[in-house]
Every structure is written in structure tokens, then in C-alpha cells.
A and B are shown apart, each in its own frame.
Chain A
């Protein structure tokens, strides 16, 4: 079964779309009363009334009934789809669900019935009795209610089949997300124009529909041709030329459509269409650019990470292939035993720590998450070995302050280590005074990590260069990917000093509580 999380997400999207359609419909209804003279509207919508000698009022006989109709359908959908179905039907509480859906259907029927008696008010001039009109409207309302129920059932069945069989496999595919966004943009554009002209002159609607298609076409051209090619040639001039070229071609085509429309409808539509085309053509390109660059950035980040990963993994696999781990650790153990026999305690300890580090690199390092204590153990081994190297140089001060109480979290491996490696790589000089300060502590849901080191002037040029950047950039990327919005990485650098501060928000420590 699907996770609750994704179900909620799907429901939210559905309600978003429903609300969008609802608002668009409202807008398309209301804008007419703003944009047009009431007398025009009387003529456009009231001619049936005058034919049957009834008084027509635009608001009473057109606007309000339709508003009521749309509103009741929208709110019924929200109530049924948001409450009745998930809380009752999907939990097998059919009786209560039935009891709740009945008043909804009844309300829908009554509202549609009443609004119909106003909307089709001219029927009072057709039928001889008031009762006849009411019967007519009741029949229509019943059919409409039934129609909405059937539409909802078909929608729900389709949705169910989609979620059950297709959703989980689709959602993981990157093209699914992309085509969802593309589809939404184009449906939005076309829907906007279509709804705007709802119920108007057919030739005009046809033409505006073509404008929608034109916009969709421009969007696709921009996404699939203009911008991808721009990434390759990087020339604004070519981009501009191409955009104009495409636009002119499609504009000529639209002009043909418009001339066609001229024969069907009024000639003034052609001019309106030209303006619409201009406006949308100019609006579509920036929107498409925005979506394209966001998508591209995401893709290139992923690409970079994937490359880095394959690189490391091939490197590691190569190492693993070269060294039989069993042989490696047995050999280290033999050396360790020999050192102990020779009473060379420091040598023995160094070998032992090296062994633990190798094991970390070969095994734990490849896992998605490890206990923080393992990462700390690695750090401590690393620092101990580095201390061996700097033994007898009093000018090198290494100050380590790790408080492991409360550090019971799991984290992704190799997030802290690169900073320490960098500190030792660039902070230690055998000739100059050097200092490394490292501190780490945890609270129930946070890890605080600070590294400070001195930089040596002759090295500072190198720091600007690649080698250091890559390690830290890699960590930065992984933090963005693995702990989005849940980390705070602060790096400050002066000519002689380097500070790193990292705060990680992690899941609360796991106790032995079930």
C-alpha cells in the first residue's frame, strides 16, 4: 500500500487542481460583468427570455444561478473526496459514509434545481403551469446530479487503478516529474484561454484555443530546442535569432488560422489574436526559461555527484580488487603481533589503528548511514596517527575536544572526515607554528562540529586551487542532497586561519526503547 505521506501529497495536488479550475470558472463568469456593458449581456444571454416575453436580469437569471451551480459542485467534491471517501469508504465504514453522502447529493440536487428555475426562467413562458417548469428543472437537476456522481466514480476508478498499478513505478522515473510539469503548464495555458471564452462565439473560442496551442508549441520549442542548444553554444545572439525565427514561423502559421477565422467570424478577432499571440509569446519564454534552468541545475548537481560517486566507487572497487581484505588484515595482525612481541607498543598501536581505519574505508564508508561513534572512532584513529607524525615538534599543537555523550545518532559517512583531513593537510607545517583545534558535541537532535586550523602562507595559494575545494565542495553537495534544510555549514577563511563550523540536524538518538 502507498505511504500516507504520498497519499496526502496526491490529495493536496488534486485539491489544488480542483480549486484552480473552480477559481478560473469564477473568473471567467465574473470578468464578463466587469468587461462588458450590461445591455450587451442582456442581448447575448437574454434573447430566449425576450422570445418568450419574460423579463431578463443578468444577475438573477445568469450569474448567480451559475455561481451557485459551480460552487455546490466544487464544495461537494471537496467534502466527498476530502472527508467522506478517505475517512469512511476507504476505511470500510460504508454505512456512515452512505449516511453522509446522501445529504451531499440531496443538497446538490436542490441547489441545481433551484438555480435551474432561475437560469431557465424563460420556461415560465413555455409551460402553462409553474409546476410544469419545476418538474422540468427537477428532471434536469436529477440527471445532472447523476451525471456528476458517474463522473466522480469514473474519476475515482481511474485514480485507483493508476495509484494501484502505475504510480509507484512511475514516481521514481525522472521523466514522470518532468512530463507532469510540462503537461501542467500546457494544460494551464490552454485551459486558461478556453475557460476565458466559455460560452462565447464559437469562432472566437476556436481562435483562442489555437492561441493556447501556439503557446504550448512555443513552450516545447523553448524547452526542447532553444534552451538546450543555448547550453551548448552559450551565445545570446544565436539564442535570440533562433527564438525570433521560431516565433516568426509560428506567427505566420497563426496568421493563416486568424485569416481563416475571419471568414467564420468577425475580422476584429484577427487583431485581437495578434495581440494575444504577442503577449503570450513573450510571457511563455521567460516561464519556460525559469523551469528549464531550475531543472537543469538539479540535473547537473545530480550528474556531478553521480560522477564523483562512480569515480570513488571504481577507485574503491579497484582497491578492493587489488587487495584481498582477508590477506590485508591478517598481514596487519601479523605485524601487530610482531610489534607486541618486540615490545614496540607505539608501533603496535599505530598498526592496530591503521587496521581500524582501513576497515572503515573498505566497509563502513560504503554504507548509507553509520553510527556517529564509528565516524568519531575513525577521526580519533586518524588524529592519533597524525600525532605520531608530528611527535617531537613542540610548535605543533593539536587540540581535540570530542564529547561523545549523547552522540548516539546515525549519520552518512565521510561528512566530518574531509574537514579534518584538510586541516591536517594545510594546517601543519614542520617549520612554522601550527595549530589545529577540533571540537565535536551532540544534543538530542543536533551535532555540532568545529574545526579551526592555521594556514601557512606558502600554502595559501594552493588552497585557492582545486585540491581542497573538491573535497569540501563534495561534502557541501552531499549535505545539500542528504540534509537539505537540516544543516548549517559555515566556512570562514583569512590569510592565516581557516574556520569550519557545521551543525547537523539529525533524527533523535535511538535508544533501546522499542
Chain B
């Protein structure tokens, strides 16, 4: 399986580092390198990709802002010089972040992570995908039926899978949790929440009712929510 990708960075040399590293990764299919983020947006409108290498600090728009407007919802790997704190707060939304100057091994590790996620997503999206997920919690594996899940909530490095009967806490990122679930049945409605579409009983402008729980809607996810409610 090949991953299509582009890289966005305001510095040409930084892009050349990615180009050099990417040549060594055989499953990576680089479609383009952009110093202008807006040109990249235009490109993505026409030809969506799987993965984007995105610099955070750019003159016109920050990578963090850009990420929320990316069409097609690709996976993102941040590349940054020194804004670890900003990145860590956004960690849940990114596959990984690479600190410049990064080595080839480190680059490969990120790419493998992205590939793993993508494979998981494809598997869960297939028609013959199983109607359950296996969730690792501590040393145990829990089998959770998809139709039992009400919502998922993230807390630090953990995600809790909430069903009517129980909660299962697992060490996953939001990205990985999303990849586990079929995209058609679940929607991310907030930085820390994923809900099962058919379990939503009531919705207002700022929140959704799922079972007993009132789940907030994040501003960045309002569009996704309205699509789900249609």
C-alpha cells in the first residue's frame, strides 16, 4: 500500500530535508512540496492526499490553523523547530510531530505510524469489517460491539469507550481511536469526543445528548456535526 503525501514548509531547505528522507521510504508517494500554504490548499481541493507534513510556524498562517481547514481530512505530521508546548496541546490531532532537525530513522518512525493508522482506517471502513472492536486496557483485551458504543471521551493519553453498561479505558490517541471505528457510523464532534451517530437523541447548537451524557460540540467540528445530523 502506498501513501500519497505532500509537504508544506515556508523554507525550501526544510522541504529538501523531507525530500531526501522521503526517498528512502518506499511506501511514501510524495505528490508535491509547497512553500506557500495557500497553493497547497488549492492543490488539495483537486487532489486529496493521505498524509501531510506540515510546518507549524509559517509567516502567513500557522500549521495549527491550517490543519483545521484541510479538505479531505488527511493525516498530519507536524514538523517544527521549537514549539513543543503548542504541539503537545494539539498532539491528539496529529499523527506525530517531528522536531527539526530530525533524523531519517525518526522520520521513518512517523511514516510507519501514519501507515499503521491508515491501514486500520481502511480495515474498519470495509463492508466485511467485524461488528466489534478489540480494545486493549492494561494487559487485557476487551471486545466491544460497535452498536453498544455510546461515545468515546479522551482524557490525557487515554480514551474511554463508553457503553451503556461499562467504560473501558485504553491508551490510545484520538487519531488511533477514530481509525479503529468505521467512519460512516461515528463522528468526531469535539477535540475530546467521538459519538456514535445513531445514539444521538437530541441536539442543540452547542451540545448533543447521548444517553445520559451531554457532549459539547467543538467549533472546529460544527460542520461535521451538521453533516451527521442531516
Chain A interfacial positions (CB closer than 8 Å to B) = 325-326, 328-330, 332-338, 340-341, 349, 351-352, 355, 359, 363, 512-514
Contact B16 A325 (CB under 8 A): no
Contact A513 B82 (CB under 8 A): no
Distance to closest chain A CB from B62 (angstroms): 13
A329 / chain B contacts, CB cutoff of 8 Å: 81-82, 99-101
How distant is the Cα of A336 from the Cα of B169 in the complex, in angstroms? 42
Q: Give the nearest-CB partner of B136 in chain A.
A: A512
Q: Which residue on B lies nearest to A514, using beta carbons?
A: B138
Complex CA gap A359/B84 in Å reads: 10
B-chain residues with CB within 8 Å of residue A363 when the two chains form the complex: 84
24 A–B pairs (Cβ distance < 8 Å), ordered by A: A325-B82, A326-B81, A326-B82, A326-B83, A329-B81, A329-B99, A329-B101, A330-B81, A332-B100, A333-B17, A334-B14, A336-B17, A337-B14, A337-B17, A340-B17, A349-B103, A351-B101, A352-B102, A352-B103, A355-B99, A359-B99, A363-B84, A512-B136, A514-B138
Question: CA of A326 to CA of B84 in the docked complex: distance in angstroms?
Answer: 11
CA distance A326 to B139 in the complex (A): 41
Docked-complex contact A333 and B81, CB < 8 angstroms: yes
In the assembled complex, which residues on chain A have CB atoms less than 8 Å from the CB atom of B84? 363
Complexed CA–CA distance, A329 and B20 (Å) = 19
Let me know if B171 and A333 touch, CB within 8 A.
no
Report the bound CA distance from A512 to B14 in whole Å.
35
| B contacts, CB < 8 Å to A | 11, 13-14, 16-17, 20, 57, 81-84, 99-103, 136-139, 158, 169, 171
Find the residue from B11, B57, B84, B101 having the highest chain A CB count within 10 A. B101
Closest to A353 in B: B103
| Contact assessment for B20 and A334 in the assembled complex, using a CB-CB cutoff below 8 Å | no
B82, A337: Cβ atoms closer than 8 Å: no
Main secondary structure of the interface of A (DSSP, over half): helix
* A513-B169 Cα distance, complex, nearest whole Å: 10
A340 touches B137 (CB 8 A): no
Complex formed: what's the CA distance from A66 to B102 in Å? 81
The 3 A-B pairs of least Cβ separation, nearest first, read A337-B13, A329-B81, A336-B101
Question: With A and B bound together, what is the CA distance between A359 and B82 in angstroms?
Answer: 8
Contact of A341 with B16 in the complex, beta carbons under 8 Å? yes
Closest to B79 in A: A333
Given contacts A329-B101, A352-B102, A514 and B14 within 8 Å (CB-CB): no
A513–B14 CB distance below 8 A: no
The answer to whether residues A326 and B17 also contact, given A352-B101, A512-B138, A513-B138 and a CB cut-off of 8 A, is: no
